[in-house]
A and B are shown apart, each in its own frame.
Chain A
């Protein structure tokens, strides 16, 4: 086999720090590279949805199977459930959910946050790179706007992107007001670094703990708020509709009590995150255990329109070795600080700060053309050249990347002397539920914010725009949900939408033995208890 790559041991012995390191002349067209090597562009990476409002739209086959799966909910379950009421129900407790809850409560709403695990357990807490906001004199929101759209292959909604980039500086101000710290320079200015696919230093950060710092602070702000209650270990398993077909609440399942609860709400904010734990195309993932695409399933059955269901982010630098840590994220911040990607021949092969989808495609190309480094399992990767970074900027890793050093420690690698083997890892869902500027979905009463929503990042997201999105849109969703005026006399909540959806599935001849939402990946050995 010609494309086997170099075995890990041999590649380790051959590795040398080289400054400057030669780069293969780059003549390629990024589009051609993506078409040839990015998983989204493979011919088997999409099918056509057969039922629901997105019928005839393209969708990843694994996601399509889940969206068109059956539900475990039924009328009897609803009839036997406990009933509670609130003004605003927030589903999900990452950054978007907490921001929505805080702003809704500030606008005089009684808020309940329902979360599948514990308050704050989310992808937010793991975010490392930072948060984008155009604040430097040599940068403009206009550049942020254009580069967000450009990196997303112009598939993003311009109005939403405009709103998000203009929100940026005020989002940072609000976070500081909540008590969040950022790294500042000696003049007291916020430190910034550059994201791949952008022209200016625009990513603000706190070490490589930006998400942890953000989540610590937001979780504490939520905990302290007298008008926000939290239901831990209580995943939403169905949204509920009223007689007008509007969203009027949700059915929660308490893992602790093995009981169902109907939550009646004036409005619902869905902020349930992404789906990395579906391991699309067999990829490892950087996502937390609960990222199983639940929100998309619930919204779709209720009739909310989704978009861009065939586009996902494979982050270029997931740890490839050791196997037990495969998929764990290594922040783009390290490449932004100057670390290079190196193949088994000691060559650089791509601009490390090209957009993420292009860098990932280039890594996959190196591996499939025999210039990768091969593990015993057959998986391949390339080097992230941290020793050269440390030689050029001694102390950089310790000063800026404590989370990364903790990972290296756990992996038994000394990144000052040895490079890390990396390969792309499933990181982010680019599409999601269609929203407008007020985070309204196509179903009245249902609002969305964060990774579960679509339309901002187009077909590829840049570093730092996820943390900006969750706060920018989270706050807006909270305000809009608190101000929403439900129909008068809307009393009864039903599963009428589910009956319609099931009929459609039956008529389409799709026989599904799958049931959704997944709630947890299969290897976590979760089973829903009996009533």
Chain B
């Protein structure tokens, strides 16, 4: 951020429809900051784990639009960039997906009660193409529909909850939330790890006091 851009050549890009000359070698976020562009709502961790800086990018001479995280994307001449709004958290689909983890219902049955549209997947690959972390999102939904919840959740280790898969689904499935449900129920339903359980019991018996 403190780089001087004295003799650097500028790179021309388009952001939300506006042409901008930015300094090369930087991430989209850094480059926009350096031009004086106000950018604070859609930038947070800058390490690719918070999902707030999701962007749609089309590189020069490439027909298709790619999904990416702006903090992980270097500026390239001729690239077109759009920062889509984060609307999903208010979306009707997500409003209805409310649940509390519980052991009284089998996890797979519970999943389909909370996320009934998961069964409507038409295997269009939209979610998988949209994922900036390279997760096979659609396979996760297929596994969830086959009641393989642990396997479904395991595919989403790298998920940063950017919600681009939600945006891309024509059936209003919220794949990352389905996967998170699967991951959470997997953890919730496992017996407590042995070393943890033993220590909790010892603490309960009052064996481990602190002296000072």
Listed in ascending order, the chain A residues whose CB lies under 8 Å from chain B are 117-122, 125-126, 133-137, 140-142, 145, 158, 162, 165-166, 169-170, 172-173, 176-182, 184, 187-190, 207, 209, 211-212, 216-217, 219-220, 223-224, 226, 232-233, 255, 288-290, 323-324, 328-329, 402-403, 406-407, 410, 520, 523-527
Q: Does B83 contact A (CB under 8 A)?
A: no
A525 contact from B3, B33, B44, B100, Cβ within 8 A:
B33
A374 CB to closest chain B CB (Å) equals: 17
Q: Does B203 contact A (CB under 8 A)?
A: yes
Listed in ascending order, the chain B residues whose CB lies under 8 Å from chain A are 1, 3, 25-27, 30, 33-34, 36-41, 43-50, 52, 72, 86, 89, 98-101, 157-161, 177, 180, 183-188, 190-196, 198-200, 203, 208-212
Name 20 extra pairs, CB < 8 A, besides A182-B193, A207-B157, A525-B36: A117-B41, A117-B44, A118-B52, A125-B45, A135-B199, A162-B210, A165-B210, A170-B203, A173-B200, A179-B184, A180-B184, A181-B187, A184-B193, A190-B195, A223-B89, A329-B47, A410-B48, A523-B1, A523-B34, A524-B40
Instruction: Chain B residues near A184: list those with CB within 8 A.
Output: 193
Q: Is the CB of B211 within 8 A of A142?
A: yes
Q: Which A-chain residue is minimally distant from B114 (CB atoms)?
A: A224
A438 CB to closest chain B CB (Å) equals: 18
* A423 CA / B187 CA spacing, docked (Å): 37
Q: Is the CB of A188 within 8 A of B210?
A: no
A524 contact from B38, B47, B50, B211, Cβ within 8 A:
B38
Instruction: Chain A residues near B159: list those with CB within 8 A.
Output: 216
With A137-B198, A324-B27, A525-B40 already in contact, the answer to whether A402 and B157 are too (CB < 8 A) is: yes
Instruction: Chain B residues near A232: list those with CB within 8 A.
Output: 89
With A125-B49, A220-B177, A224-B98 already in contact, the answer to whether A169 and B203 are too (CB < 8 A) is: yes
* A166 CA / B202 CA spacing, docked (Å): 11
Q: Is the CB of A177 within 8 A of B188?
A: yes
* A162 CA / B38 CA spacing, docked (Å): 45
Instruction: Chain B residues near A176: list those with CB within 8 A.
Output: 187-188, 190, 192
A-B pair number, CB within 8 angstroms: 169
Task: Give 5 nearest A-B pairs by CB, closest first.
Answer: A179-B184, A121-B44, A524-B40, A525-B38, A189-B195
B38 CB to closest chain A CB (Å) equals: 4
B50 contact from A125, A142, A255, A410, Cβ within 8 A:
A125
Q: Is the CB of A187 within 8 A of B194?
A: yes
Q: Which B-chain residue is minimally distant from A219 (CB atoms)?
A: B161
Instruction: Chain A residues near B45: list those with CB within 8 A.
Output: 121, 125-126, 288-289
With A162-B212, A166-B203, A224-B100 already in contact, the answer to whether A233 and B41 are too (CB < 8 A) is: yes
Instruction: Chain B residues near A181: list those with CB within 8 A.
Output: 183, 186-187
Q: Is the CB of B157 within 8 A of A126?
A: no
Q: Is the CB of A117 within 8 A of B37?
A: no
Interface centre among B41, B183, B212 (most CB of A within 10 A): B41
With A145-B212, A165-B210, A525-B39 already in contact, the answer to whether A173 and B47 are too (CB < 8 A) is: no
B46 contact from A120, A137, A182, A288, Cβ within 8 A:
A288
* A180 CA / B193 CA spacing, docked (Å): 13
B interface SS class: loop
Q: Is the CB of A141 within 8 A of B46?
A: no
B180 contact from A220, A233, A525, Cβ within 8 A:
A220
Q: Is the CB of A170 within 8 A of B200?
A: yes
Q: Is the CB of B194 within 8 A of A188?
A: yes
Instruction: Chain B residues near A134: list those with CB within 8 A.
Output: 199
* A72 CA / B164 CA spacing, docked (Å): 37
Instruction: Chain B residues near A166: list those with CB within 8 A.
Output: 203, 208, 210
* A323 CA / B160 CA spacing, docked (Å): 25
Q: Is the CB of A126 within 8 A of B47?
A: yes
Q: Is the CB of B188 within 8 A of A179?
A: yes
Instruction: Chain B residues near A328: list those with CB within 8 A.
Output: 46-47
Q: Is the CB of B188 within 8 A of A209?
A: no
B124 CB to closest chain A CB (Å) equals: 25
* A136 CA / B185 CA spacing, docked (Å): 26
Q: Is the CB of B36 within 8 A of A406?
A: no
B210 contact from A133, A142, A224, Cβ within 8 A:
A142
With A142-B210, A523-B1 already in contact, the answer to whether A407 and B50 are too (CB < 8 A) is: no
Q: Is the CB of A120 within 8 A of B30?
A: no
B178 CB to closest chain A CB (Å) equals: 11
Q: Is the CB of A189 within 8 A of B157?
A: no
Instruction: Chain B residues near A142: list those with CB within 8 A.
Output: 208-211
Instruction: Chain A residues near B44: list those with CB within 8 A.
Output: 117-118, 121-122, 288-290
Q: Is the CB of A289 within 8 A of B46?
A: yes
Q: Is the CB of A172 within 8 A of B196?
A: yes
A238 CB to closest chain B CB (Å) equals: 19
* A226 CA / B195 CA spacing, docked (Å): 34
With A145-B210, A224-B100, A525-B39 already in contact, the answer to whether A179 and B192 are too (CB < 8 A) is: no
A213 CB to closest chain B CB (Å) equals: 8
Q: Which B-chain residue is minimally distant from A527 (CB atoms)?
A: B38
B196 contact from A190, A290, A406, Cβ within 8 A:
A190
Instruction: Chain B residues near A121: list those with CB within 8 A.
Output: 44-45, 50, 52
* A133 CA / B52 CA spacing, docked (Å): 31
With A179-B187, A189-B195, A216-B161 already in contact, the answer to whether A324 and B177 are too (CB < 8 A) is: no
With A173-B196, A224-B98 already in contact, the answer to whether A180 and B187 are too (CB < 8 A) is: yes
Q: Is the CB of B200 within 8 A of A217?
A: no
Instruction: Chain A residues near B99: list those with CB within 8 A.
Output: 224
* A145 CA / B212 CA spacing, docked (Å): 9
* A177 CA / B184 CA spacing, docked (Å): 8
Q: Which A-chain residue is minimally distant from B37 (CB atoms)?
A: A525
Q: List 29 A-B contacts (CB under 8 A).
A: A117-B40, A117-B41, A118-B86, A125-B49, A126-B45, A126-B47, A135-B195, A142-B209, A166-B210, A179-B185, A179-B187, A181-B183, A181-B186, A184-B193, A188-B194, A190-B193, A207-B157, A217-B180, A217-B187, A220-B180, A232-B89, A255-B41, A288-B44, A324-B26, A324-B27, A402-B157, A523-B1, A525-B37, A527-B38
